Amino acid sequence: MSRKFFVGGNWKMNGDKKSLGDLIQTMNGAKTDPNVEVVCGAPSIYLDFARSKLDTKFGVAAQNCYKVPKGAFTGEISPAMIKDCGVNWVILGHSERRHVFGESDELIGQKTAHALESGLGVIACIGEKLDEREGGITEKVVFAQTKVIADNVKDWTKVVLAYEPVWAIGTGKTASPQQAQEVHEKLRDWLKTNVSESVANSVRIIYGGQFIHSLILSITVHLRSSS
Catalytic positions, written as ranges: 94, 164
DSSP designation for 166: G
Helix axes 210-226, 17-28, angle to 10 degrees: 80
Secondary structure (3-state) at 145:
helix
Adjacency order of strands within the sheet including 58-62:
5-10, 36-42, 58-62, 89-92, 121-126, 159-163, 204-207
- CA distances 104 to 25, 97, 101, 153, Å, are 37, 9, 9, 17
Q: 89 - beta bridge partners?
A: 61, 121
